[in-house]
Amino acid sequence: MTQIKNPRRKLDGVLLLDKATGVSSNRALQQVKHLFNAAKAGHTGSLDPLASGVLPICFGEATKFSRFLLDADKTYLVTAQLGVITDSGDSEGAIIAENPVPEFADADILRCIAAFKGSGSQVPSMFSALKHNGQPLYKLARQNITVDRPARDIYVHEYELLSRTHDTVTCKIKCSKGTYIRTMVEDLGNALGCGAHVTSLRRVQAGPFGIERCYAYTDLEYIEDLPGVLLPVESLLSGLPKVVLDETDAAAIRNGKQIHITSGALGLVSAFSADNNLLGIIEVCAAYAKAVRITSARNVAQLGVG
């Protein structure tokens, strides 16, 4: 007799996972998806196996809005080993150089850190997950293949020295999307003249979500009501202005029609029905445009201001 498989559950919401070290983001996702027996899930922004911390997992409808978290600022705690340079920029790589570490004063380190605050550009590491012709860069790097990578614009909001020893520094960094912390550590090591690599990395904030709200996978295994730990889909949109539409306009949005409003913020807003159900993301603009349904994969509707 053929055994009938347990059907996957349709879940909508966001799990705030505290990813453990030694696990890839994709592996962590698959573990959680299996534990929840979820039909559809995805993570929002990879963390290296070396790194731990905030890894939001989106289920069902939440996956349509994951880009709003991918675009959000992130905050990290990082510890760097001075005087040792690795090919990957972290402790998982091979050591390629060792240098003496001078007797730095705190002021020397703070001066170098200050130079990296604000707007700048960064060339992604060859050991990143970015793809070149469909191949992750880190796979090419492991084959000793190097390709040109265009520099990216980044912004460092905060760069704080938390503690240090003779040959280590621990910092807190709040930065824009697409910023590679290992590259920042390598740049700091170069600025200090001795080189450096990452030995510990923990993401403590991703957009509105802090580490204090996250669940470790080992804790989830003992929770009976797993869906009860999920945040609502709209939690991904807390950074957007909110508009509430009456029944007529809500119905029009659901049916892909254009509507007009008399006031409200311009740009992207989250739209809710009068009974506080999420309708979708709408763009409020001066000129009308066609609206699309929330269930569309292209989940940005547009709204004219009348």
Q: What is the mean pLDDT of the chain?
A: 86
For strands 74-82 and 196-206, give the pairing. Answer: antiparallel
Mean pLDDT in residue range 222-247:
90
Query: For tokens 């580490």, what's the residue?
Result: 211
Residue 220 pLDDT > 60? yes
Q: What is the pLDDT of residue 3?
A: 52
More confident residue, 168 or 298: 168
Percent of the chain with pLDDT over 70: 89
Residue 288 pLDDT > 70? no
Which residues have a Cβ under 8 Å from the Cβ of 185 and sit 6 or more positions away?
78, 80, 89, 196, 197, 198
Cα separation, 181 vs 200, in Å, equals 11
Q: Taking the model in full, what pTM does it have?
A: 0.86
Q: What is the pLDDT of residue 115?
A: 96
More confident residue, 256 or 228: 228
Residue 305 binned pLDDT confidence (cut-offs 50, 70, 90) = very low
Mean pLDDT in residue range 148-172:
95
Q: What is the pLDDT of residue 5?
A: 61
For 259-272, write each residue's pLDDT tens digit.
777 556 677 888 88
Cα separation, 181 vs 76, in Å, equals 8
Q: Residue 188: which of 291, 79, 103 has the closest Cα?
A: 79
Cα separation, 117 vs 140, in Å, equals 31
Give the CA angle between residues 119, 121, 126 to the nearest 5°: 145
Helix, strand or coil, per DSSP, at residue 217: helix
- 48 as an active site residue: the answer is yes
Residue 128 pLDDT > 90? no
Q: Which parts of 11-105 fold into alpha helices (H)?
A: 25-36, 67-70
Choosing from 18, 48, 87, 187, the catalytic residue is 48
Residue 296 binned pLDDT confidence (cut-offs 50, 70, 90) = very low
Mean pLDDT in residue range 189-210:
97
